[in-house]
Structure 1
């Protein structure tokens, strides 16, 4: 397993636009090359071209791609389909969107072996169980009998890796495979991916905007901008002495910088007061208790102009807290006061002014934006509803909002499907800003963004706090990001609030053990960090006492 990859003069176009321009590079057998750059830089477009694939509207117009002795771009479409899943395998960013919810995990993991007729069903299932074990999945002998919704996001991501590896491909493409995972899950998935890649001597391409993750995985880094290569060098050299100014800017953006202004007079006004809040999902019993309790007895106070971060693993109740404040889920107990007035528990019961004052920015812009509406229509809706704008004032405000989130005015006429992930998230934020709210609930708003765009969004959030006094409830699994933008941090686990840490105490200890675990699990921007973590785990317990 593991073959050389040689790319020469690759050019990919969409209409009259060149997405990847005259790109050449090579990967030695068994090495990992990382593709990094901003959203729209051509990372995924390049990675897909290694399979001879171009997305709808795109064409590979020049160049060659060789995997071992195979000239990929000169194969027929039938031959390219035979190549995919056999010689080259792809691990996508969203495992949840890649699995069929109606079929068992095992049925889907062994499918590449069946399609390419590599082994019998019994042999494929036995090999799948071995892969489950290699990828440190729980209950490897039986996990395949479950359905996708019955496993966690981190487990599903590793199961997708098993599906990709079952055919022993010569090249494995990993496209942002840990972006949507919380930090403690991410570190386990990274460990599993790296161990399997190393032990199998797989040649791999790792697409990511997270330089700290790339530092643990890649032998070499190729930096892309606007579809052009800015530099390619060994990972230690890129991190210690980058030769290109753009690479230097990426590294600078990846290092957390505090973005918090000193408290002002307006901070003394209590804006949001949550008392003894509990919420959950499912059928409600006679006592009003939901079948699954997600949030229990939460107390939290947020002042005007303040930003409070809420951190914790997936399932800790972070998003449920934001949805309860937004009126998207009805609490079963407790009160929410906003500007000293009790908020009705459900969205439909709240006044138009209350709706305007509290806006939410969802994590997944792909599902938050209507794919059939132009960006202009998406931004116009809150401006018409809350502000009554029409005609030129409406158009002018749309242009201002796009400028505010660093998007060109030409984006207004496009559909969400024509934008990169980072661009869609900025539209998501612009829509919330259109209402001129007092409180913005930010649910993992930078988790899917590249470092430069993510840093720009964090700068924007800090700027709005200073100029408009906007308050934030900032939900994230990234402790470094939360520390950069928030005055206080609320730590949650299993639906309960464990601790609240003030900015002045961020670097002082001791803190709650779970807070310390989250802090230790955020990858550092240097080679060898994951190796050190692996060594430390043998002497330090991974699970905190709660």
Structure 2
């Protein structure tokens, strides 16, 4: 294969206040052949996105090219004039960002946005562009290609929107695609569909691609070659098979371990038994909740239906499910942010007022929320000592020297230097901000921490470090955790028990080892089978399974009658599963599955 792109001894630096240069990318070299996918992998700050953007002749503000060449078919894009770069971008090289929701304009139709670049560059006429878009919709396995372009972004699912971004990039028939973490924010079942579509259409179109990610298991499914980066330098470079099956560098092995941490099955038993009480630390009984209110007081959209969850003192409960299953809604009900229409929330056996405003300061103190995005959860105008000091004053009445001392202890507890107290959030990395987010919740000395997707925005190594920290904090403090995530591997590495939610109903729950071992509820089996394995060729095998076929392009549908998983279930019984609510079957040792099928017919 001929070489399309050659990155040769690339150096990129940041301009400091004293006008000196700080090296960011330090002599990186690799090649991309025609029709080939090359993956750049590494943790946050490794330089992978900075290097990928160089293929467009672009550097982020504050950075500048400091040496080397980036040659596209022999022409150095670094030294190109701005008018040549404009024609390069969108025509010969196209970029796919991480967030499709942020990329699309909600006021324009999908068709207008997918075709815009190819029409503006004069590559295709409007009519040709719309025909080309339909071909791409079909290639990307999107529903209703003929009419899809007339819809608006909010009228399609997240996974479909991600594939539409690929259609937008490919519409102008570029030679090279730059994909920047395109599946990071997707749940496991959606991710597998998007990966399959991306891989298929790149091969069909004969395009080359640079794929940026921190997840080695994802890379194994789509890349021909892998470049492992750390601190702006290449640590390992080889074929996907070589790097995944026979890594030579310690850092690559660290990435592999962080991607799929070992399960926590039974790990928390000692902790929870040491702190166990007669009454659970937190319990929700028969909770039904949703959004909007009709005149009769019922919800316009009911998200949760008859949900029961109990968390013992010192225990960690993992709540998993796809986007739209009601995980965050359950956490909001527990915290009092969303009053339920039916059911009770109990703290230490005592019923709580359903609404946050009606709860006492003592009750508020005992349940703390750790939000997903530390960037938006932390006030950028306040120093860390002020952020941590507010709950110390509000809940514990600490002031002056006593408060400053406790701020230092909290920073030490989350393994941050005490000098961070004088810093602002913008001066911290993503992982450090999330540690401050945790410290703020711990400042109240809570009994229960509600962690909503707390590591989904972090790379695999930083995320693994945060999980290790949570484990240590649980041992030290005896705090109970409700850990919400769509990442089954992460939940398995931390939780004592797992609650599987689908369409607002509990379909399976039990200890981690029992839920993750057969027999499974069909939906649990789908989630488990959708977690990418760390080997080349897994994707092609996985997409042929019964579970994968059940998962393809099906939205989570909230239903009032029958089993909500009916239209996706490989074990569905017509005129039973679609008409009657499934019974809850007790498989022993607290393992419950909600299904019409007898235990002997469950999936193994």
Q: C-alpha displacement at 1:417, in angstroms?
A: 4.7
The 3 A distance-change label for structure 1 pair 512 and 383 is same
> Looking at both structures, which has the greater relative contact order when contacts are Cα pairs under 8 Å and sequence separation is at least 6?
1
Please state if 1:261 is matched with 2:271: no
Please state if 1:496 is matched with 2:505: yes
Which of the residues 188, 191, 214 maps onto 1:183?
188
**Residue in 1 aligned with 2:245?**
240
The 3 A distance-change label for structure 1 pair 27 and 392 is farther
Q: Distance in 2 between matches of 1:520 and 1:526?
A: 14
**Residue in 1 aligned with 2:283?**
273
- Any conservation in 1 of the 2:93–2:176 contact (CA below 8 Å)? yes
- Any conservation in 2 of the 1:359–1:439 contact (CA below 8 Å)? yes
**Residue in 2 aligned with 1:76?**
81
**Residue in 2 aligned with 1:319?**
328
Q: Distance in 2 between matches of 1:77 and 1:417?
A: 32
Of 370-379 and 509-518, deviating more is 370-379
**Residue in 2 aligned with 1:116?**
121
- Any conservation in 1 of the 2:215–2:460 contact (CA below 8 Å)? yes
Q: C-alpha displacement at 1:459, in angstroms?
A: 1.1
Return the index of the structure with the highest Cα Rg: 2
- Any conservation in 1 of the 2:268–2:495 contact (CA below 8 Å)? no
Q: Aligned pair count?
A: 545
**Residue in 1 aligned with 2:8?**
8
Aligned pairs (5 A) from 1:89-104: 89-104=94-109
Q: C-alpha displacement at 1:353, in angstroms?
A: 2.5
Of 67-76 and 13-22, deviating more is 13-22
Q: Distance in 2 between matches of 1:381 and 1:474?
A: 25
**Residue in 2 aligned with 1:288?**
297
Q: Distance in 2 between matches of 1:477 and 1:2?
A: 41
Normalised by the length of structure 1, the TM-score is 0.93
Q: Distance in 2 between matches of 1:504 and 1:124?
A: 52
Per-residue CA deviations over 1:264-315 (Å, capped at 9, x if unaligned) read 2313441111011111112x11221121111111111111111111111111
Please state if 1:386 is matched with 2:395: yes
The 3 A distance-change label for structure 1 pair 433 and 92 is farther
**Residue in 1 aligned with 2:479?**
470
The 3 A distance-change label for structure 1 pair 434 and 30 is farther
Q: C-alpha displacement at 1:502, in angstroms?
A: 1.7
Aligned pairs (5 A) from 1:476-515: 476-515=485-524
Q: Distance in 1 between matches of 2:550 and 2:469?
A: 39
**Residue in 2 aligned with 1:429?**
438
The 3 A distance-change label for structure 1 pair 358 and 31 is same
The 3 A distance-change label for structure 1 pair 323 and 63 is same
**Residue in 2 aligned with 1:65?**
70
Q: Distance in 1 between matches of 2:28 and 2:406?
A: 40
Q: C-alpha displacement at 1:195, in angstroms?
A: 0.6
Report the 3-state secondary structure (helix = DSSP H, G, I; strand = E; otherwise coil) of the residue aligned with 1:335. Answer: strand
What RMSD, in angstroms, separates the aligned Cα atoms of the two structures? 2.4
Aligned pairs (5 A) from 1:411-422: 415-417=424-426, 419-422=428-431
Q: C-alpha displacement at 1:250, in angstroms?
A: 1.4
Report the 3-state secondary structure (helix = DSSP H, G, I; strand = E; otherwise coil) of the residue aligned with 1:448. Answer: coil
The 3 A distance-change label for structure 1 pair 423 and 7 is farther
- Any conservation in 1 of the 2:321–2:486 contact (CA below 8 Å)? yes
Which of the residues 163, 167, 174 maps onto 1:162?
167
**Residue in 1 aligned with 2:314?**
305
Q: C-alpha displacement at 1:395, in angstroms?
A: 4.9
The 3 A distance-change label for structure 1 pair 66 and 330 is same
- Any conservation in 2 of the 1:317–1:493 contact (CA below 8 Å)? yes
Q: C-alpha displacement at 1:471, in angstroms?
A: 0.8
- Any conservation in 2 of the 1:10–1:22 contact (CA below 8 Å)? yes
Q: C-alpha displacement at 1:166, in angstroms?
A: 0.9
**Residue in 2 aligned with 1:213?**
218
Normalised by the length of structure 2, the TM-score is 0.85
Q: Distance in 1 between matches of 2:394 and 2:88?
A: 52
- Any conservation in 2 of the 1:326–1:358 contact (CA below 8 Å)? yes
